[in-house]
Structure 1
Amino acid sequence: MSSQRTPHHGVLLVDKKPGWTSHDVVAKVRGLFGQKKVGHTGTLDPMATGLLVVCLGRATRLAEYMVGHDKTYEGTVALGATTDTDDAEGNVLSRREVPPISEADVQRLTARFTGRICQVPPQYSAIKKQGERAYAVARRGGSAELEARPIVIHDLTVAVSHAGQCLDIGVHCGPGTYIRSLARDIGEALGCGGHLASLRRTSAGPFNVAEAQTLASVEAVSAAERGALLKKPGSGLESLPRVHVSKENAVRLAGGLSVEVADLPEAAGPILVYCGSDLLVGVAGRIEGDGLKCRKVLATREELDLC
C-alpha cells in the first residue's frame, strides 16, 4: 500500500525567522507537506524576518502573478558604517561620524526617497550582469557594474533611534525595491554612510504577516490537518478581473479550446476563470472578439465534473 500523500494545492503564509534563506523555507515546506511542487513569490534575505508567500501544488502556476505585489517593511538603518552587502552580515568597508539628525533632515529624507526614484541594487544580489549573478562576482572580490533601476516607494516613515545612531524606517514599496539599497542610500544622503541592521516584511499584496504561520507552528499540526492552513489557489489575485462560465465552457477551456463569453472584462492581461461557486478553472486571456482561451489550467476533470 502506497504511503504517498495526496498533494495539496494552495497558498501558505509563512512568518520566516532570521537565519533561514527563502530556499530553506521552501525545502522545509516540501518536507512538511510531502510534495515537491513548492515555490515562493518573493525572496527574503536570510537576516530578514516576516512574510514569505509560499505556493504549493497547482498554486505554483499562479506565482508569477503575485511577484508584482506591493510590499511593506519595517527596518532599522545603522548609521556611520557601510558594508559590502549593505546589511549587518557583511564586512565593514568604512566608518564615519554620525552627525546630529534634525526633524528637517528627516523630512528631507522622506521627500527624497518617496515616489518614483532610481536605485542601484546591492552588489550582493541575484541580478545577472553578462550572464553572471552579481553576488558571484562580489564573492570572488569583484564588483559588477549595476545600473540604477526605476522603483516606486509609495510611503516612507523615518524616526531617529538609538541615541541618534540609527533610523527606524517603515516602507511601502513596489516590486524590485531593495531595502538594503535604501538603507545604504539614506546613509549616504546624511553624509555618514549606513547599512540595514534589521528588516521585517509585514505585508505582500493583500497578505499580512499577522495571518502567517511560523514553520514550527505548521510542524506542530498533524500532517492530516496541515491542508487547512492553506489559502485557496487564486488567493492574492483579487485585483485581477474574473469571469464565471458554465460547466460546458469550463470543460472546453480546460481542454485547450476557446469559448465566447458575454460581458467579458476589458482587460488585455490575465483573467481568472471560475466555474460554479468558487472553482478556479484557470487563467485565461482574451482572443479576437469576445473569445477567451486558457493560458494556465488549474482545475482537474474530476473537479470540473462536480462544478
Structure 2
Amino acid sequence: MSLNGWLNVDKPAGLTSYGVIARIKKITGRCRIGHAGTLDPLATGVLPIALGQATRTVEYLHQLSKTYQADIELGTATDTYDAEGRITFTADASAVTLSQVAAALKGFSGSIEQIPPMYSALKLNGRPLYELARRGETAELKPRAVTIFRLDLLEFTSPVVRIEVECSGGTYIRSLAYDLGQALGVGAHLKKLRRTAYGCFNIGQAVALDELTDVGGVAAALLPLDHGLDLLPRLMLDAAMSASLSHGVVTPELRAQLAEGQAYRLYAAEGVLTAIADLTGPELRLKVFGAAQPGE
C-alpha cells in the first residue's frame, strides 16, 4: 500500500516529534515520513505528519499560523523557560494583579522581536543551541521578528496565567512566558502547552497517536496531499500542460501564468494535484507528483 498524504496527530506529552514519527514508521514500514512544526516533549496537540509524497510539501506549511493554549506560572524562571528546566530565579508573585497581567500581555501583540531560548533546536554555526546549553556554553542570540496575531488572557489564578495565542511560525511560546515574567518583574516559565491548530489542521479533527495501530488505520486517517496548501494560488491545467508536466516540462502557456516570487498548486482536470511550481527563488523549481491518492 502506497501512503501519500497528511496525518493530523494529537501528540501526547512526554514524546518528541521525532518519537511520533518513529512510532508511525514502525507501523508503516519503509514509508517516507516527515513532520511540520516541532513540539517539545512537554507540549501536546496538533502535529501534522507527512507521508510519502506529502513530505515534499512540508516547506510550504511553515508559513501557516499556529494556535496554542498555554499555562504560564509566575514567580519561577528556568533555564529552559519551561517546567522541565533547572530553576534559575524565584520571586513572590502573590501581589501581581489581573490588570497587571493584562497590561503586560498587550506588549506582546502584533509584530515583535523575540530572542529564542538557548535550549532549542535552532543552530548556531551548524550546532544545535541545546548542545551548547547542555555543555554550559552560552551564545549571544539575536532577536527574531515574529508576529502575534491574537493573544487572549483566558484565566488568571495566581500564580498561573492561562492564555491563547495565534502566532506566526518561528514563535516560541516558552520565550513568551519568559518575557512575560521579565515584564512583571517576578520571573515565569511555561508550565503547560497545547497546540490547538496549525493552519487548517485543528485539534477537533486530530487523531490520538494510540489509535494508529496498523497500516489500515493510518490509511483511513490520511488527509489529501494538498491539505494545508490553500495559501498557494491554484491553477488548472489543460491536457497539453498536464502531459508536458508529467515529463517535467513547463509549456510557454503555463509559464506565462506564473509570477516571480510566488509558488503555485497545479491541478489536472480531474482535480488531482499534479505539481507545485515555485518561483520564490532565483529559478523555477518544479515538484511533480504521481497520481496516487491517499491510501492507494
- Fold-level match, TM-score > 0.5? yes
RMSD over equivalenced CA pairs, Å: 2.1
Structure-to-structure mapping, 1:242-253, within 5 angstroms: 242-253=234-245
Q: Counterpart in 2 of 1:3?
A: none
Give, in whole Å, the separation in 2 of the partners of 1:85 and 1:293: 41
Moved more, 181-190 or 223-232: 223-232
1:251 Cα deviation from its structure 2 partner: 2.2
Q: Secondary structure of 2:212's match? A: helix
Contact 1:242 1:273 in 2 (8 A): yes
Amino acid at match of 2:132: V
CA distances 1:90-141 after superposition (whole Å, capped 9, x unpaired): 1111111114233431331232000111111001011222332110010011
Q: Secondary structure of 1:261's match? A: helix
Q: Counterpart in 1 of 2:166?
A: 172
Give, in whole Å, the separation in 2 of the partners of 1:211 and 1:224: 18
Contact 2:5 2:51 in 1 (8 A): yes
1:262 Cα deviation from its structure 2 partner: 9.1
Q: Counterpart in 1 of 2:263?
A: 270
Identity %: 37
Select the residue among 184, 204, 212 that pairs with 2:206: 212
Q: Counterpart in 2 of 1:124?
A: 119
Contact 1:256 1:294 in 2 (8 A): no
Give, in whole Å, the separation in 2 of the partners of 1:202 and 1:29: 21
Segments of structure 1 that go 5 or more residues without pairing to the other structure are 1-5
Structure-to-structure mapping, 1:201-240, within 5 angstroms: 201-219=195-213, 222-240=214-232
Structure-1-length-normalised TM-score:
0.89
CA distances 1:143-168 after superposition (whole Å, capped 9, x unpaired): 12211111100111124534x11100
Segments of structure 2 that go 5 or more residues without pairing to the other structure are none
CA distances 1:203-243 after superposition (whole Å, capped 9, x unpaired): 00111011111111121xx5335312101101111121011
Contact 1:258 1:293 in 2 (8 A): no
CA distances 1:172-198 after superposition (whole Å, capped 9, x unpaired): 001110000000000111110000000
**How many equivalent pairs are there?**
290
Give the structure, 1 or 2, with the largest relative contact order (CA under 8 Å, sep 6 or more): 2
Q: Counterpart in 2 of 1:83?
A: 78
Contact 1:285 1:293 in 2 (8 A): yes
CA distances 1:30-87 after superposition (whole Å, capped 9, x unpaired): 1222234100011000000000000000010000000121000001001111111000
Amino acid at match of 1:296: K
Structure-2-length-normalised TM-score:
0.92
